[in-house]
Structure formats: C-alpha cells, structure tokens
Amino acid sequence: MNNLIGQIITALVTDENEDAFFVQKDGVTLKLNKEGLETVPEIGDTVEGFAYENSSRELILTTFIPKSRVGHYAFGEVVETRRDLGVFVNIGLPDKDMVVSLDELPTINKLWPKPGDRLMIALEVDEKGRTWGKIADEAIFRSISKAAKPEMKNENVEGTVYRLKLVGTFLLTDDFYIGFIHPSEREAEPRLGQMVQGRVIGVRPEGSLNVSLKPRAYEEIGDDAEMIIAVLKRQPDGTMPYTDKSDPDDIKGYFGISKGSFKRALGRLMKSGLIEQKDGQTRLTDKGQADLTD
C-alpha cells in the first residue's frame, strides 16, 4: 500500500455505490468519489489518478493531480499550526492537508510559518503509511532558480523565505531568482515561508541577489520629503534654490505645501544625511545621490 500513496497510478474500476466508485491496484482497494468527475467510468474501465489517505484514514483515488507528490516539489499554503505536531499545508486535496513535522521547522516558534505563508514541499510516506510534507532543501531551490543579471540592481522583488540561517535569510523570488537578506538589511527576521517584498541592492557573480527589506531612505521619511527628493533628482546638478529660509509663498506656489511642512521635510532629509543647505541652495549629498542610484 505504501508504494501507492502519494503517487499517480492507474487502477481498475471494480464496484460502485451511490456516492463513489471503488478501484483496485495491486490488490489494494481505493475509493473514487463521483462528485466532480468529468468523465464517469464504467465497471471494468481503468482510471488514472492520485492515490492518498484522507483525514479519515480512507484510501482515496482522485483525478485531481496535485503538484506536490512523492518526489515532486511545489508550493502549498500553510493553513494551520500545531505546536505539538507541526504545520498543515494545503496542496489542493479537499479532505487532506499535509503535515510538515516540527522536526523540519525552526527551533524558535515565532519563526514558524503562519496561515497564509507557503512552503515548497514534496510528499513522503513513512513505514506506518502516514504521509508527511517534506520541505525542499537548498539543492532543490538552486535547481529551479535562474541567474540574475546586473541590471536588476535597485529593482523591487517579491519572494518566499525558504531558509533561515545565522548569516541571514534566503528567499526565492516570484521570478525564480535566489535572494539573500543580510541581518543588517531587515528590521526583524522573517518567518520560514513568509512572503516578503524588498529591493535588489546587489547581484552576485553567480547570479543570486542581495536583497534589502528596508525602504530606501527617502521612502522612510514621508510624502513631502519624497517630493523634495524627486525635485532634486530632476535637476542636472542635484540642487534647487529653495531652503528653510525661502519665502512661504514661494514654497506654497512651487511645492503646494506650507513652509512648516517644507521645513519638517527638509529637517528629516538633512537628519538622514541625504541633503545639505549651502549658499542659499538645497542640494543632494553624496549619500543622497547614492541612495537614488543603488
């Protein structure tokens, strides 16, 4: 029986009742529910499907083929956590979620996946016939990834965290690039399976990405400050003739904000080291220029 569970098999239809057909493979009987069948078989026909044991310990054959199978890895959504067991992952079956054992999860509970996160798993059947989700290892992620190009620097990316290490966090982007987040480039350590958004701050020679989860400096300091940065960015020399000493009407006319708001935004930008005021002008600092081109 164990060699059937988690596999795609072809079985012979031998019987039926009002709700289901019964099929056999190698002397093992499985139930094929009639609900949802696109093609209704007859006794003596063969049916191809996915074999599994549902939450009621019934052997089931379904014509729905999940992407996660024995020897086949795919992402599934985490739907439940149990501290004494592990996390439950939905792979698309109506009456069975796959358990990823706590032995495969981080030792720190707060780094466990939460419902809505996702894990890349295959299925594994133990000696007792129980099916478990097995998390993909580094080799699997490397095998499905592709090499990034240097032009990706400063692009925004989204991805799923798949590995937690002391040196940092590894993720697979939605476009199948491997990314690395150094601890200095995040406010808090992401959970295993968490989907995160970041920006590319570097591309390594082998094609993986260095990713930061921190916003660009000018994105942290409000819309008014971002507007000022945008104005400076449009100037060839990165300067403008407006400072905290400028006339309120001139500021209102050009920026559409009060002088008080303008001064607060300038103050945040200067505190962040992105701008400086000199000779009656406001200009981008070297750090400000670098932040815009990283």
Cβ-based neighbours of 172, under 8 Å, separated by 6 or more:
120, 141, 144, 145, 159, 160, 162, 178, 179
Per residue in 235-273, is it b (16+ CB within 10 Å) or e — as a string? eeebbbebbeebeeeebeeebebebebbbbbbebbeebe
Least confident of 55-59, 70-74, 206-210: 55-59
Handedness of CA 47, 52, 58, 62 (dihedral sign): negative
Domain count, the chain: 4
* 199 within 8 A of 230, measured Cβ to Cβ: no
Least confident of 9-23, 44-58, 203-217: 203-217
Residue 206 lies in a domain: yes
pLDDT at 44 over 70: yes
pLDDT at 289 over 90: no
Burial of 107 (0-12, 13-18, 19+ CB in 10 A): exposed
Residue 3 lies in a domain: no
Q: Does 65 or 36 have the greater pLDDT score? A: 65
pLDDT band at 294 (very low <50, low <70, confident <90, very high): very low
Q: What amino acid is encoded at 20 in this protein?
A: A
Residue 68 lies in a domain: no
Q: Give me the CATH number covering residue 231.
A: 1.10.10.10
Final residue of a domain: which of 212, 230, 259?
212
Q: What was the pLDDT predicted at 136?
A: 97
Provide the 10 A C-beta neighbour count for residue 98: 25
DSSP state of 70: B
Instruction: State pLDDT tens for residues 214-227.
Output: 876 556 567 888 88
DSSP state of 72: B
Residue 224 lies in a domain: yes
Handedness of CA 231, 233, 235, 237 (dihedral sign): positive
Instruction: State pLDDT tens for residues 17-28.
Output: 999 999 999 999
pLDDT at 1 over 90: no
For 89-104, what is the mean pLDDT? 96
The β-bridge relationship of strands 156-165 and 131-135 is: unpaired
Q: Give me the CATH number covering residue 132.
A: 2.40.50.140
Average pLDDT of the chain is 92
Instruction: State pLDDT tens for residues 113-166.
Output: 999 999 999 999 988 888 999 999 999 999 999 999 999 998 999 999 999 999
For 89-117, what is the mean pLDDT? 96
Q: Does 230 or 139 have the greater pLDDT score? A: 139
Find the domain containing 12 and state its range.
8-62
pLDDT > 70 in the chain, percent: 96
Q: What was the pLDDT predicted at 154?
A: 86
